[in-house]
Every structure is written in structure tokens, then in C-alpha cells.
Structure 1
């Protein structure tokens, strides 16, 4: 199999580098300065155990790769706001032997949020959801850091919708397990992804105010999560519990320092730190807002967080531009409307 990593940032770059390190064939898809650095210097992966450089084929899009192979596996690792463009770009590409990528190739959604699989299924007949537990950092072009040890990450994989036969998935999981990951194959991966969605709700808080320390910050985290739990219950959506999710990670994946690659924050913080003009808040906090509106559950905390972090991205503000008091004031105003 050949793995095509669509979006070789923190998650995609780490998975691609680890697969390449275990001898698997990998192509990276990147753009801008990151693509230039990968072409010039290779993909540099820094972990608690040291540094590896992988010189891999790099393309900016499917048109640079030409005809796809029947054994290609697409790893979709772009942010959710970029999914439609990426899926549309790859789905119609021809595959050797006939047909298109959307008709024939396996597409794995290595992404936060719970909407990507449905977007992919509109364009691809074979879709796999992946719950990504992978502490990684991408702040410098050409360089990704991953602090998980001894496992780099845990990637739960499952067909979407569940129950569809996909024999190749066992081989993909075996490749991941040979590449410093655990790759469980639950019957239904979506309860794992909804659990991760709840864990990702504080990303916006961290991006707005900085490190989540002290009772006030942790109290706001608890409020955002409580809204999430309430809307999932109202919608009848199952999510793996915190205790079960914690057991799945356990001692197999501890977060250790990565030399020379400080982990200042999660994915939303990193996006703002790189100067991104869009973030994935609409697909994290915004998913809770959507479900709340559908099922009559107020979500003022998540709606305020979604709106503020989107404004920060649009205006070019960096992470930590707000104080907790300012965020709280906006939430109180939202409740009063």
C-alpha cells in the first residue's frame, strides 16, 4: 500500500513520518512554505527519543501526482474547514485500472470533530473514521513534534457507517501498529470520536486566554464540557465515557517534552500561532451549538467561544488575546440575549 497524507501538518506529518520510518511508502501533500521546506530539507520529526528526517515525495495536490494506484490509501488530515476542498480535489482523480478515487480508494478521516466522515461519504464510497489521540505540534515549516511515549499515538479506526466490510482496514491497522501507534478497531468508532469532541471543546478557551490553569479556567472548561454532555444526551448520541477513554490511553501514551519543540497549546492555539485565518471552532464548539439548537438545549458558553475564536482568526489576532474575565463577560452577555 501507498499512503497519501493529505495535510502533512501536526497529525498528518507525524503519522506519515512514523509510517515512513517503518518502511511504508508515503507521499506528503502540503502547500506554501511547509511544502517548500519538505522538498528542500525533508520532513523532520522530533520526539522525546530524538529526531528523524524523512525525505519523502511531496506534492501540492493530486494533479502533481498523476494517476493514482489501486493500492493507494488516502489519509485526510486537513482541518475540518478545509475538508470539502480537499475531498473534491481528490475524489474525481483517475485510478489505474479504471474508476476514480471516490469510487475505489479508501479514505481515512484523521481529524477532530464528527462531521468529516459524512462529508467524505458524499464523495467516497469507502470511508473510515479515525479517533486521533496524538499529542503533536506543527509551528515551523518542515518540522513536526510528537510527545507521546512509548506510543506516539492511539488511533481508533472504524468504517463509516459502522458494519461495512473493509478487509484492507486490518492491514492499515497492522501498518500503524508497526509504526509506534496503537490502532484499535471498535465496531463503531463514532462514540470514540464524540468523546474526543468533548475533550476538544477547551481548545478554544486555551486559544483565547492561554494555559488552562487555576480554578477559573478549569471552571470554564467544565461548563463547556457540561453543555456538550447535555446536548449529546438530548440528541441520543453515545460517547465513550471519560474513564474508558482514559483507560484506552493509560500508561501506553504519556506526554513527554520534545527537545526544541515547545508545545504551547493544542490544535486551535497552534493555528492562531501560525497566523491561520480560519480555525476549526465551527466543527468543535460549533457542533455543540448546532446540536443544542436542534434539540432545544442552550449552549451560551460554546457559542461564545466559537464566535470569539473565529473573530480572533479573522482579525489576525494571536493566541492569548483575551483574559478570562473578558471571556466570562461575553458569556454573561450571551445568556442575557
Structure 2
């Protein structure tokens, strides 16, 4: 089984390192100094108090790597469409594409049913570029709960959690999902297959949709956000809006907004991903995290005033960075 991790940053790098260490043939697509370091000395993987160098084939695009059985796409959701030309050479007749990204994916309403069946998400997939190029039959849904960082080029450090959920968009329990699940489990991840990947996606979104823009706008770490009564109240309101939209879609919500926030207390003074991006001047991943929820809420007739305000603010901040 050949696996390529397209986008071997913190999360993708950790997945690639563990797969390679478990004996799975894996290649990576990376860029810049990170790619050069991996090509020169291998990928350095730090886990707790240990450090290991794993050798993976690394390239700037898919041309030299050949077609794959699985391509795990670990990019920011707003970078996927532009990256397609570099990814396309990896795709053969049977290749499975596994978008390991946050937020509402472009395929979410494919064969969804109900009044929102076939709805397109303008912010997530402008001009339907992904929908045009990728047959949803190739897609295996994925939700990632990992914490990792790249402290220096060629190094990936695992910070916490190691949970992955996989699921077919059509709700089936497929052999291809089970093969990848078993492979990731053998690499040390807590990985399970689900028949309801959309609910899994939405449950992670409940935290991300409000928390990421709030952190980016305030430059506050998670502990300070949770300890500020006014900000916490605003966050709970935004998260309740996400839950209301999810309920209107018939999704299975696992936690209340308060329970979801309390999960974050154990993480301490962490910088969530959008805050890290804004401090490093990178594009902000607001489209799939909050703008999509606003669009869905409007179509479903669910009021989302707090989330709409946060989205307007973070969209303007993102434009100032570009």
C-alpha cells in the first residue's frame, strides 16, 4: 500500500513519520526549507522524550512520486484548490483522497438529501474548482484530533492527542476505509471508522468555528480566553449557533458548548491554529471554519448573528494580511 502525505507540516509530518516508522511505504510533498531538510537528513520525529529519524521520499510536487493508493491531504482547507495541479500526478484510477483538514469540506452536501442537497459552499470551493476536478467517490472523509508543531525545518514534534476518524461520505463501512484505519492504528494512532463522518466533522467544528477567530482577533492563548467571562460568554453563544445549525441538518451532536470548552482547559496556554497563522503572517483559514456555517445557517433558516459578526471581523483581518 502506497501512501503519500500531501502537505507534510506539523500534522501531516507526524502522520508520515509514524507511518514510515511502522514500515508503511510513505512519501511526502512539502516545500521550502522544510522539504530541503527532509531530503537532506530525513524527517526528525520527536515524541515525548524520544527522537527518531525516519526516511521518507520527499518532493515539492507529485510528479516524481507516481500514483498512490491513498493521498492524505494535510493542508489548510483554503489552500487545497490551488494545490490541485501539484497533487494531480499522484492520482490513479483507484486512488483514494483523504482530506485531513478542518472545517466543512466542499463535498459535505453531495447526496446529502433534504432541502440542502447539492448545496455548494462558495467560500470553501470558489468557482467549484474542487468539485470539478475531484469525484466524491474518490473521497474518504477524515477528522483529525492531533496536536503537533514544526519547531524547525525537518522536525515534527507531537504535542498531544492522537485521534483520527475516517468515514465514507455515503455512510458505508468500506474495505478501503478499514485498510487505512488498520494502517494508521498500526502506526500508533487511535483511529476508528464511522458511518456518520458528517456528524464527526461538525462536532469538531463546534469548537473551531468560534474559538479560532476569537483567538486570532484577540491574540489570546486558550487559557486566557476561557478565563475571561465576557469572551467565554461570546464564545458559548457562537458555539450554540453552530450546534443549532448542526441540529437542523439532523447531525448527532455529542457535547454541549460548555462541555466542549471544558475539554480545552487541560491544554493550558496553547495558541490555536488561526492565532499561529496570524502571528506568522499566513492566510487565515476562516472560510471552512466559520463562513461556511454562516452560509449554511442562512440557507437553513437558523439565526447565526454572533458567528456572522465574528466571520465579518476575521474576513477583514484576513484581507489586511494579504
TM-score, length basis structure 1: 0.77
SS in 1 for 2:192: coil
- Given candidates 269, 277, 280, the residue that maps to 2:275 is 269
Q: Which residue matches 2:67? A: 68
How far 1:28 sits from its partner (Å)? 1.0
SS in 2 for 1:153: strand
The 1:169–1:233 alpha-carbon spacing in structure 2 relative to 1, beyond 3 Å, is closer
Runs of 4+ in 1 over 6 A off after TM superposition: 254-257
How big is each residue's C-alpha offset from its partner over 1:243-268, in whole Å with a ceiling of 9 and x where there is no partner?
Answer: 7xx89xx9xxx9789xxxxx741221
Q: Tell me, in whole angstroms, the C-alpha distance in 2 between the residues paired with 1:13 and 1:309.
A: 28
Q: Tell me, in whole angstroms, the C-alpha distance in 2 between the residues paired with 1:310 and 1:50.
A: 40
Q: Which residue matches 2:121? A: none
Q: Which residue matches 1:321? A: none
How far 1:76 sits from its partner (Å)? 0.9
Q: Which residue matches 1:97? A: none
How big is each residue's C-alpha offset from its partner over 1:47-68, in whole Å with a ceiling of 9 and x where there is no partner?
Answer: 3242223232111111232x32
TM-score, length basis structure 2: 0.80
Q: Give the gaps of 5 or more residues in structure 2.
A: 109-124
How far 1:213 sits from its partner (Å)? 3.1
Question: Contact between 2:28 and 2:57, CA under 8 Å: does it hold in 1?
Answer: yes
The 1:306–1:126 alpha-carbon spacing in structure 2 relative to 1, beyond 3 Å, is same
The 1:256–1:285 alpha-carbon spacing in structure 2 relative to 1, beyond 3 Å, is closer
In the alignment, does 2:232 pair up with 1:242? no
- Given candidates 78, 102, 105, the residue that maps to 2:95 is 105
How far 1:294 sits from its partner (Å)? 1.1
The 1:291–1:314 alpha-carbon spacing in structure 2 relative to 1, beyond 3 Å, is same
How far 1:33 sits from its partner (Å)? 2.6
SS in 2 for 1:213: helix
Return 283-292 or 302-311, whichever deviates more: 302-311
SS in 1 for 2:8: coil
The 1:139–1:312 alpha-carbon spacing in structure 2 relative to 1, beyond 3 Å, is farther
Question: Contact between 2:44 and 2:52, CA under 8 Å: does it hold in 1?
Answer: yes
Superposed CA RMSD in Å reads 2.8
Q: Which residue matches 2:162? A: 153
SS in 1 for 2:103: coil
In the alignment, does 2:174 pair up with 1:166? yes
Q: Which residue matches 1:284? A: 289
Q: Which residue matches 2:140? A: 128
Q: Which residue matches 1:195? A: 203
Q: Which residue matches 1:327? A: none
Q: Tell me, in whole angstroms, the C-alpha distance in 1 between the residues paired with 2:292 and 2:231.
A: 22
How far 1:23 sits from its partner (Å)? 1.4
Q: Which residue matches 2:240? A: 226
The 1:273–1:64 alpha-carbon spacing in structure 2 relative to 1, beyond 3 Å, is farther
Q: Which residue matches 1:301? A: 306
Q: Tell me, in whole angstroms, the C-alpha distance in 1 between the residues paired with 2:95 and 2:277.
A: 30
Return 263-272 or 183-192, whichever deviates more: 263-272
* 1:108-119 to 2 correspondences below 5 Å: 108-118=98-108
The 1:116–1:55 alpha-carbon spacing in structure 2 relative to 1, beyond 3 Å, is farther
